[in-house]
Amino acid sequence: MDQDEILMDAEERMEKAAEVFHGQLQGLRTGRATPGLVDSIRVEYYGSQTPLKQLASITVPEPQQIAIRPFDANSISAISQAIQASDVGLAPNSDGRIIRLNIPPLSTERRRQLVSRVKEFAEEARVSIRNIRRDANKHADQSQKDKLLTEDDRDKTKDEVQNLTKKFEGRVNDQAAAKEKDIMDE
């Protein structure tokens, strides 16, 4: 691999790791209703696990409520069961056409648990980014051994990979801090 390929690969993979982290944060409750809380719940629908957002429209009519309107009325019971089985901790109320989820205010204890969960997710994301850095550095070393890069080019590539690592770790840290503040300030 040449220098540009190594850097492009590392940047794309780090971007994906940051996106995964962002998606994990979306699914955490902050005391406010948001469609991200239930988007990724998987529902048993005609024999396959289907994301809820593909089976229903999810809206937030009030700050403390989520409304789920299934496209197929026959799927209401399956959606209710999936919500109860998930770890969001919400009880679905159904009127036969719409499922409503009321979001209770978070206790201090639950807020602390959520903050520790944010920290776990952030650490996983940082570890993933560092593993990508390690792989990119190995590629640079191998390319230098294969005479595709000079020593100077290899060192320059490693420096740029380190800069990418700092950039993406900073992004993860900023998102984690913002989410922690959001959880504790509610």
- pLDDT tens for residues 1-57? 888 999 999 999 999 999 999 988 887 766 677 887 887 789 988 888 988 888 999
Interval 81-102 mean pLDDT: 86
Q: How large is the average pLDDT for residues 83-109?
A: 85
- Residue 138 clears pLDDT 90, i.e. is over it: yes
User: If one looks up domain 35-102 in CATH, what number appears?
Assistant: 3.30.1360.40
CATH 1.10.132.20 fits 3-26+107-185, yes or no: yes
Q: What would the two tokens of residue 134 be?
A: 């390690």
Range(s) of the chain covered by CATH 1.10.132.20: 3-26+107-185
Of 83-97, 125-139, 146-160, minimum mean pLDDT range: 83-97
Give start-end residues of each CATH 3.30.1360.40 domain in the chain. 35-102
pTM score: 0.72
The pLDDT value recorded for residue 186 is 62
